[in-house]
């Protein structure tokens, strides 16, 4: 079974993030949910962005790095939106990654914002809504398509869902889409099951 580290989005470690983790764990996997905001749950994405500025990017990276350093074995890195960028950074820069699950965000793997090349043999899934103002309309879906092209369809999968919601997988937020989220969970568990 897979060992997963699931990073929350800009509104913190919500009940919906915890519920999603429990659904992944129901497949027999171990899912860790670090709280990089130390219990704070910003009411909006803008509030969350302001909180990350107050804490600072270096400190948030240090918290994420310290959390995974305490875990043994190869890890699958996963994250929602802002947390997906953390998961992607760790998957690309920390040796021994078993896979990555990127929800509603994808950082380009080429160009100035890239964390470096995608590691050989590491599978990845990317999930997002077609008209999500962040994922679908700000270029993340294009970065995801490039990643699939570079890694190859045997190891990289992009799933684009109809709709315009951001954070549609979080059952504690108004943006939740139960049907799409259930499909995300099923597809994610399929990847985790394949990893063994």
CATH number for the domain harbouring residue 128: 3.40.50.1820
Cα dihedral across residues 100, 72, 83, 114: positive or negative: negative
Whole-angstrom Cα distance, residue 92 to residue 84? 12
Whole-angstrom Cα distance, residue 127 to residue 184? 7
pLDDT at 36 > cutoff 90? yes
Contact 61, 68 (CB under 8 A): no
pLDDT-wise least confident of 45-54, 69-78, 163-172: 69-78
Q: Is the pTM of this model over 0.85?
A: yes
The pLDDT tens digits for 85-95 are 999 999 999 99
Q: Which domain holds residue 38?
A: 3-195
Mean pLDDT of 109-136: 93
Counted domains in the chain: 1
The angle formed by the CA atoms of residues 41, 168 and 123, to the nearest 5 degrees, is: 100
Cα–Cα distances (Å) from 48 to 6, 12, 39, 93, 130, in that order, read 17, 8, 12, 25, 23
Contact 188, 104 (CB under 8 A): no
The angle formed by the CA atoms of residues 178, 17 and 149, to the nearest 5 degrees, is: 75
Which pLDDT value is given to residue 112? 83
The pLDDT tens digits for 134-176 are 999 999 999 999 999 999 999 999 999 999 999 999 999 999 9
User: Helix 57-69 crosses helix 45-55 at what angle (to 10 degrees)?
Assistant: 80
Which pLDDT value is given to residue 165? 97
């Amino acid at each position: 079974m897979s060992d997963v580290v699931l990073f929350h989005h800009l509104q913190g470690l919500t009940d919906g993030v915890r519920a999603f983790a429990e659904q992944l764990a129901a497949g027999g996997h171990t899912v860790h949910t670090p709280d990089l905001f130390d219990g704070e749950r910003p009411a909006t994405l803008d509030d969350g962005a302001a909180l990350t500025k107050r804490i600072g990017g270096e400190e948030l990276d240090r918290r994420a790095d310290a959390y995974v350093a305490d875990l043994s074995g190869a890890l699958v890195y996963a994250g929602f939106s802002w947390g997906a960028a953390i998961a992607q950074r760790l998957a690309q820069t920390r040796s021994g990654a078993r896979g990555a699950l990127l929800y509603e965000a994808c950082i380009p793997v080429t160009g100035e914002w890239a964390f470096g090349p995608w590691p050989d043999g590491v599978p990845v899934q990317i999930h997002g809504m077609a008209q999500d103002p962040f994922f679908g309309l700000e270029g993340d879906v294009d970065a995801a398509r490039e990643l699939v092209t570079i890694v190859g369809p045997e190891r990289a999968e992009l799933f684009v869902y109809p709709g315009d919601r951001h954070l549609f997988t979080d059952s504690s937020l108004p943006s939740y889409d139960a049907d799409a989220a259930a499909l995300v969970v099923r597809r994610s568990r399929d990847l985790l099951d394949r990893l063994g």
